[in-house]
Structure 1
Amino acid sequence: MLESFINYLEFEKKSSNHTVLAYQKDLEQFQEFISISFGKEEISEADHSEIRAWVIDLVENGLSTTTVNRKIATLRSFYKFLLRSKEISKDPTYKLNSLKNPKKLPEFLQENTISSVLEERVYEDNFEGQRDRMVMEFLYLTGVRLSELTGLKWRNINLQEEVIKVLGKRKKERIIPITKGLARNIILYKKVFEERFSKVTQSDYFIVTNHGKPSYPMMIYRIVRHYLDLFAQTSKRSPHVMRHTFATHLLNKGADLNAVKDLLGHTNLAATQVYTHNSLEKLKAVFEQAHPKA
């Protein structure tokens, strides 16, 4: 049953490899828990009280609310799959509530900070330096996810129309416009790319290692952390902070919320609305400064 569910995620829902592995790991952990605690070898036999016991055990072991809720979501998906497949007659997660998650506001960089981070003098005048600059500039000016950047190939970039095509979550494609400045810098990056390796082909990855191999998540993390350490005061220094900054700056400049939603590749508006708090804070500051009765 577990194998059938994993195949369903991979081939029917077209979930990412990361999601499939996370679901599989969660279910294996739950299977181990009910085997040790209740002597049950099949997770299809678990009932509501046993699932709740696992949730309590996770909390007592210090797992974050976000992690526990993700594991609850895994179980919900799994048992709904079993119900549809008629492997079970009742969903044991039906009355299972998610834990209340304290709302965390996304961290972002101030405009003067991002200006310093993207200054040309910060980067060495060689392939590695120009590639690093492209990583930082691309993340900020497009708002792409880490996986979207590492998976990007030269054929996904249309400099003539000044757009890029990225493959987002659930293998959903979207088009993102790029600025004329970014387009010019991509041309310059392409030049040092070809000087270092060979003529760019459409199938080549856009961001590569010093040896021309495809980039990978930890490499991008290291690049972002290195350059943000020079200027940023935020506690988090990750590629996602650049994405947060992209969205926040757009909204602060008056961008339409639905347009930002589409640029980010969000499936619903609620995921994008988390960024509006920064715009509201700016409006409040303007109001307090300008309104005669404030």
Structure 2
Amino acid sequence: MSAEAFRKYLTLEKQYASHTVRAYLTDLEEFSEFACAGAGDMKLEELPYPIIRNWIIHLMESGLGNRSVNRKIASLKAYYKFQLREGRIEASPLAGHKPLKTPRRVEVPFSESEMRGLLEDWDPEGGYEAMRDKMVVELLYTTGMRRAELIGLKLSDLDLAEGVLRVTGKRDKERILPLLPGVGRELEAYIRLRETEFPEAEEPYLFLSPRGNKMYENLVYRIINKYLSKVSAKSKKSPHILRHTFATHLLNQGADMNSVKELLGHTSLASTQVYTHNSIAELKRIHGTSHPRNKKK
């Protein structure tokens, strides 16, 4: 198994995020250990599908859910696709594999009133961290950017005079996002506070940890969970739910799906359509209360 060559393929050619590359390599290593125990010295490139099927059964018997099993198999698919491209195999053992069925996961966005209550009731005297946390929530909710895009934001990505910012998304694709005027003014105040808090900071990133370093993934999750817990009892509180909320609220207010697609940085409408089930519910409500055929005579 050429793990290093596979890593370079995922990183340089596929341009996957570092955490995705780590997950793929971990899955591949786990499968390799399982296969070695049952297939001896046989190379991964030579393994037949029944060995993979046995691994799937092993994962399910260990308590792993179908969605998690499918994710691990996706890692193997990527590996065999790489080997096929390199000419080391003639066919992938997973060519005929069908993913395990998974229930549709419905993510419930936060309501407009919940978001309004959260963002309008913020302690203005909370200092740098409170202001930073508010801007984290504001940007995730008002731009729909991804967590990784937020963490990677640099001061140079902001053009407050024009009211826009530049984000670098998946595959290093850049897009320009508009800023609401109020958010732009708050960002100006935040940057002044950041310069006061960290006058000698060399980090170019917009959001910093308490020690003046680049913000990290778990910190963003803790911020979102902490503040959304104040206004909602929903169990799912994550940066992605704010992205989901952003898209749903725009669609509910009549935004064109193609425009939402561009704002989210999706490559196809199919990716954007997963956010429409709540807007459809809202349209049904409006339709039911507004159509003359539903009026009491």
Q: TM-score interval w.r.t. the shorter chain?
A: over 0.9
Corresponding residue of 1:289: 289
Are 2:67 and 1:66 equivalent residues in the alignment? yes
1:161-189 CA distance string (max 9 Å, x none): 21111111122111111111111100111
CA distance in 2, matches of 1:124, 1:33: 56
Q: Distance in 2 between matches of 1:200 and 1:211?
A: 10
Q: What aligned pairs does 1:1-294 form with structure 2 within 5 A after superposition?
A: 1-122=2-123, 124-198=125-199, 204-294=204-294
Q: CA deviation at 1:120?
A: 4.6
Partner Cα separation in structure 2 for residue 233 and residue 120 of structure 1: 17
Q: CA deviation at 1:119?
A: 1.6
Q: Which runs of 5 or more residues in structure 1 are unaligned?
A: none
Distance 1:229 1:29 in 2: 37
Cα shift readout 1:22-41 (whole Å, capped 9, x = no counterpart): 11011101101111122245
How far the C-alpha of 1:121 sits from its partner, in A, is: 3.4
Q: Secondary structure at the match of 1:99?
A: coil
Partner Cα distance (2:286, 2:169) in 1: 36
Output the CA distance in 2 between the equivalents of 1:113 and 1:176. 24
Q: What is the percentage of aligned positions where both structures have the same residue?
A: 44
Residue 62 of structure 1, CA deviation: 1.9
Aligned residues: 293
Looking at structure 2, the residues matched to 109 and 89 of structure 1 have their Cα atoms a distance apart, in angstroms, of 49
Residue 227 of structure 1, CA deviation: 0.7
Residue type at the aligned position of 1:226 = K
SS at match of 1:164: strand
State the TM-score, normalizing by the size of structure 2.
Answer: 0.94
Q: How many Å separate the matches in 2 of 1:41 and 1:117?
A: 58
What amino acid sits opposite 2:71 in the alignment? R
User: How far did residue 122 of structure 1 move?
Assistant: 4.0
Where do 5+ consecutive residues of structure 2 fail to align?
none
Q: Normalising by the residue count of structure 1, what TM-score does the alignment of the two structures yield?
A: 0.94
Runs of 4+ in 1 over 4 A off after TM superposition: none
User: Aligned with 2:176: secondary structure?
Assistant: strand
Give distance in 1, aligned partners of 2:5 and 2:211. 40
Contact 1:247 1:275 (8 Å CA) reproduced: yes
| Further displaced range: 58-67 or 47-56 | 58-67
